[in-house]
Structure 1
Amino acid sequence: MSYIVVYELGKPVTARSSSGAPGDEERPVRRVHAAPTAPGEPSATGPRTLCGKDTFAMETARGKTTERPGAPWYPAEYASVVCPDCDAVMET
């Protein structure tokens, strides 16, 4: 089975430009999950993450995660917000 990394996003936060003026709203990554791919669509996310959350409002990670043995399934910059339940399933 193939998996896709998805991001559970937090509430929008207004970013400030370097001049201090309000900029675009950003939604910080609140939690990183793994979800199986949709049946017959290897680039589409299935309806639920491995921990059971709905993927409808989640953002799909760009690019592919590494598939090297021993490497994490999630992007390294989000290691602190990885879902422990998804991680436990992915490690087995």
Structure 2
Amino acid sequence: MTEIVVVYELDKPVPTRPAPEAQGTGERPVRKVHAASAAPGRPTATGPRTLCGKDTFAMDTAPWKPSEHPGAVWYPAEHASVVCAECDAVMEV
């Protein structure tokens, strides 16, 4: 099977002024967690599309690698509530 790369679809930046304690963090919440095939010949690079068909260009690659966690789910447990249902269905096949 092709190597799977986990990618994060992030929330868009809010155009309002952030609270002082949030300034400088640069972090955006994860909107959805997707699975994508690795780029050919580059197992750590994301291919152009997720398994549900979304473009991966603006997504962040997760540090979680399913191949390093045999027997575990393909996504990081802390993001279980925002897993893409379509990607999850493909991964279960």
Pairwise TM-score range, normalised by the shorter structure: 0.7 to 0.9
- What is the TM-score with the length of structure 1 in the denominator? 0.85
RMSD after superposition: 1.6
Any gaps of 5 or more consecutive residues in structure 2? none
Classify the secondary structure of the residue corresponding to 1:26. Answer: coil
Q: Say if 2:6 and 2:64, in contact at 8 Å, map to a contact too.
A: no
Identity %: 66
Greater percentage in helix: 2
Moved over 4 A (4+): none
1:57 aligns with 2:61: no
TM normalised by structure 2 equals 0.84
Aligned residues: 87
Larger strand percent: 1
**What is the CA–CA distance in structure 2 between the aligned matches of 1:15 and 1:36, rounded to whole Å?**
38
How far residue 16 of structure 1 moved from its aligned partner, in angstroms, is: 4.2
